[in-house]
Structures are given as structure tokens and as C-alpha cells.
């Protein structure tokens, strides 16, 4: 009996040492190995990009360049937003027309030339431009938290604007990130109230990432688990322990925007983007959550999915018609034109979805 116990303990120790050795060898190969192992240097093999900081830390660790931070509050802004004041460079074009402030991430800011984006399509439309001028405040990589902060800084800069507050459904997940290509602000909930965190923004982003090492205990274990059970690395997984926190933050932020716009007496609506492969497919948890929130609080909204679905049938739908390219799934001019027409319909009628 004693010999059996000793042998068992020796076996357990040997197994543990073997696993530790395998992990150390794998780490050495992963970070310092030959170039033919490059396919293993994919952050998505070890962390989830939408709501896990480790994905973005690994992106830099594997040779990615951190984004330059050029704004002390938001982390980054685009070139046509004036630093410090946050006034849009095109604000002088408004004249006597009503400004339409269009907030959002890269789906609003576009990955196509300006002429094919919302400002180009709508501001060149005779019916629209006779009364309105669209100011595009969409900034690539923003989460719902950053969109909200930019809204806060700019809503008071314009006289009686109309507001289109857009966001990609995945921007809800980004609220948990403290970084993407670089450091970003974020919120936590304290006693039911939003508390801003992540400031000040570190201008030296290499230092920022160097000071925040990856928190993964075992890369080998992550690789095996995510390969065997890919759903465990999916933000849509029902077992996602962060889903409740994502919902709380999104609800608090969207209600803040809605109540502020109502208090200002402004016309507004929420515009919800999804990945353009998603029309005619079952709704994910974010859309179900948003539909319930919008209904409960009477928040005017438009689903981009529904606008795209009106232009096709489930049988003939091909998402490739609506994206820039297979390598770039952002909306192309056709998709932007469909959404622009829906915005124009709303301005005419006031009717949302």
C-alpha cells in the first residue's frame, strides 16, 4: 500500500513537471522560435478580442505596433476632429442648416472614401442637403464607452442638432476593454453609477503595454482548449461570465444618452449595426437585450439588419455585395446608401423601427 502511494505521488509530480516543461518549451518557441511557427502567433488562439485585454497585449507582444494616442480623454480621435475642442473640421459647412450629428465607430466612420460614406452620400443628396448637414463623428475602434464620451464632449457645440447615435453591437463588449490598439478609457459600475476609469491616457504606448504583461497562465492550455472547444473563445457563448457586466454598462450608457437628449429636447434615434454576414440569421444576445431595452424605455431606434433585409431575400442574400472586400468586412457604398436612405426616411416621417 505504501509503495503504491509513493508511486502515485511520483507519477503526479512527474506529470506536473512534464506539463510545466511543455509550457516553458512552448513559450520559448512561441516568442522566440523560427518564423515557420508564425501561424501560432495569432492572439485569437489564446484570448478573445472583443472583451479580453490579453488579446491586445499579445498583438503587441507578437510584433504589432501600438497605436499612437493623441487624445487625453478618448485615447485617439480622427484627423477631422479638432483636438481639445472636439469641434468637427466641417462644422463651418453647416451654415443655416440643421446639423445631423452622426456618432459611432468605424461602421459609421467608414472604411471607404468620404464620398461613399454617410456624409458624402447624404450631403450630396438634394433633399437632405436643402435642410440638413451631416457631421460624421464616427471613429474607428471605439467602444460604446468612447462613443458616449465623444457625444458628451460635442453635443453642446452645435445649435439644436439632430442626433444619430450609432454603434456596432460588438461595441457593447468593448466596454470591458482597457485597451485595444492602444489604451482607452472605460467605465465601471459603482453603487449603480458609472465611474470613469483608465485616465490619464499614457502617450508612450510602448511603455503602457510594457507595464502590463499578459495575464495568461498557460498558453498551451489555452491553445488546446480553444482548438478543441472553439465556443469557449466566443463572446456569444452562453457561458460567458462577463455578459451580465456588459449588459449593465451598456444599459447605463445608452440610458444616459437617451435621457440627456430628451432633457435637451432634441430629435434623435439609435442606429444599431451588426456584422453584414448576420442579416437573415438568428438574433444574438446583444440584439435581444437591446430590443428589450429600447422597448422598455421607448427609445427610438433603427436596425441596420432590417434595412439590409429589405433589399434582399433570405434565399438570395450574399453579404459580399455589401462589404468592402473579403479581407475588410466594413460596409461598402451600397450598404451605406441603403442605411442613408433609411435615415432620410426617418427625417421625413419620424418613424423608426
- Tell me if 46 is assigned to some domain: no
C-alpha distances in Å from residue 309, one per residue of 22, 192, 306: 50, 38, 5
Give the integer Cα–Cα distance in Å for 316 and 36: 41
What's phi and psi for 224, nearest 5 deg?
Answer: -65, -45
Locate 110 and state its grid cell. Answer: 467608414
Asked if 25 and 112 sit in the same domain, the reply is no
Q: Classify the phi-psi angles of 313: left when phi > 0, otherwise alpha if psi is within -120 to 50, otherwise beta.
A: beta
* Total domains present in the chain: 2
Asked if 35 and 161 sit in the same domain, the reply is no
The rounded radius of gyration (Å) of the Cα atoms in the chain is 23
Nearest to 122 by CA among 101, 150, 91, 148: 101
- Tell me if 306 is assigned to some domain: yes
**Mean pLDDT, the chain, integer:** 93
- Tell me if 48 is assigned to some domain: no
Residues 21-53: tens digit of each pLDDT: 888 888 998 998 888 889 999 999 999 999 999
Hunting for cell 483636438 — which residue is that?
Answer: 83
Could you list the residue range(s) of the whole structural domain that residue 172 is in?
53-349
Asked if 208 and 69 sit in the same domain, the reply is yes
Asked if 9 and 110 sit in the same domain, the reply is no
Asked if 341 and 219 sit in the same domain, the reply is yes
Residue 7: pLDDT band with limits 50, 70, 90: low
Asked if 201 and 336 sit in the same domain, the reply is yes
- Tell me if 326 is assigned to some domain: yes
- Tell me if 192 is assigned to some domain: yes
3-state SS assignment for residue 166: strand
Asked if 338 and 193 sit in the same domain, the reply is yes
Average of per-residue pLDDT across 8-29: 76
- For residues 75 and 69, the answer to whether their CB atoms sit within 8 Å is yes
Asked if 120 and 217 sit in the same domain, the reply is yes
Nearest to 290 by CA among 138, 139, 174, 172: 172
- Tell me if 93 is assigned to some domain: yes
- Tell me if 210 is assigned to some domain: yes
- Tell me if 47 is assigned to some domain: no
Q: Three-state secondary structure along 235-286?
A: CCCCCCCCHHHHHHHHHHHHHHHHHHHHHHCCCEEEEEECCCCCCCCCCCHH
Give the integer Cα–Cα distance in Å for 7 and 1: 10
Give bridge partners of residue 133 from the DSSP assignment. Answer: 99
Asked if 65 and 21 sit in the same domain, the reply is no
- What is the residue-wise DSSP string for 342-353? HHHHHHHH----
Neighbours of 190 (CB within 10 A): 9
**The pLDDT of residue 89 is above 70:** yes
What pTM was estimated for this model as a whole?
0.93
Residues 261-302: tens digit of each pLDDT: 999 999 999 999 999 999 999 999 999 999 999 999 999 999
| H or E segment and range at residue 154 | helix 144-154
Locate 95 and state its grid cell. Answer: 451654415
Asked if 37 and 116 sit in the same domain, the reply is no
Asked if 15 and 155 sit in the same domain, the reply is no
CATH classification at residue 293: 3.40.50.1110
Q: At what angle do helices 243-264 and 144-154 cross, to 10 degrees?
A: 20
Asked if 16 and 73 sit in the same domain, the reply is no
Residues 230-258: tens digit of each pLDDT: 777 777 777 688 999 999 999 999 999 99
- For residues 45 and 226, the answer to whether their CB atoms sit within 8 Å is yes
- For residues 323 and 299, the answer to whether their CB atoms sit within 8 Å is no
Amino acid at each position: 500500500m505504501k509503495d503504491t502511494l509513493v508511486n502515485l505521488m511520483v507519477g503526479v509530480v512527474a506529470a506536473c513537471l512534464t506539463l510545466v516543461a511543455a509550457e516553458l518549451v512552448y513559450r520559448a518557441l512561441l516568442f522566440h522560435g523560427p518564423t515557420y511557427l508564425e501561424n501560432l502567433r495569432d492572439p485569437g488562439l489564446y484570448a478573445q478580442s472583443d472583451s479580453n485585454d490579453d488579446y491586445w497585449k499579445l498583438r503587441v507582444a507578437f510584433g504589432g505596433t501600438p497605436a499612437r494616442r493623441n487624445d487625453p480623454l478618448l485615447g485617439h480621435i480622427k484627423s477631422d476632429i479638432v483636438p481639445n475642442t472636439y469641434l468637427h473640421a466641417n462644422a463651418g459647412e453647416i451654415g443655416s442648416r440643421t446639423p445631423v450629428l452622426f456618432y459611432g465607430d468605424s461602421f459609421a466612420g467608414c472604411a471607404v472614401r468620404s464620398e461613399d460614406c454617410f456624409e458624402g452620400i447624404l450631403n450630396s443628396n438634394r433633399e437632405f442637403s436643402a435642410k440638413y448637414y451631416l457631421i460624421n463623428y464616427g471613429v474607428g475602434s471605439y467602444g460604446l464607452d468612447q462613443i458616449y464620451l465623444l457625444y458628451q464632449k460635442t453635443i453642446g457645440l452645435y445649435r439644436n442638432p439632430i442626433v444619430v447615435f450609432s454603434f456596432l453591437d460588438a461595441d457593447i463588449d468593448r466596454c470591458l476593454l482597457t485597451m485595444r490598439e492602444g489604451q482607452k478609457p472605460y467605465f465601471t459600475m459603482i453603487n449603480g453609477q458609472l465611474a470613469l476609469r483608465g485616465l490619464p491616457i499614457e502617450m508612450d504606448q510602448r511603455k503602457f503595454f510594457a507595464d502590463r504583461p499578459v495575464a495568461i497562465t498557460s498558453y498551451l492550455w489555452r491553445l488546446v482548449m480553444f482548438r478543441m472547444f472553439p465556443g469557449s473563445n466566443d463572446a456569444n457563448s452562453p457561458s460567458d461570465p462577463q455578459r451580465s457586466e456588459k449588459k449593465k454598462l451598456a444599459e447605463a450608457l445608452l440610458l444616459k444618452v437617451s435621457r440627456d437628449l430628451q432633457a435637451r429636447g432634441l430629435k434623435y434615434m439609435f442606429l444599431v449595426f451588426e456584422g453584414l454576414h448576420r442579416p437573415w440569421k438568428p438574433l444574438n444576445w446583444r440584439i435581444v437585450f437591446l430590443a428589450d431595452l429600447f422597448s422598455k424605455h421607448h427609445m427610438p431606434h433603427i436596425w441596420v439588419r432590417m434595412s439590409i433585409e429589405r433589399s434582399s431575400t433570405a434565399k438570395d442574400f450574399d453579404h459580399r455585395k455589401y462589404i468592402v472586400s473579403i479581407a475588410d468586412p466594413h460596409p461598402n457604398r451600397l450598404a451605406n446608401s441603403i442605411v442613408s436612405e433609411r435615415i432620410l426616411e426617418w427625417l421625413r416621417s419620424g418613424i423608426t423601427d
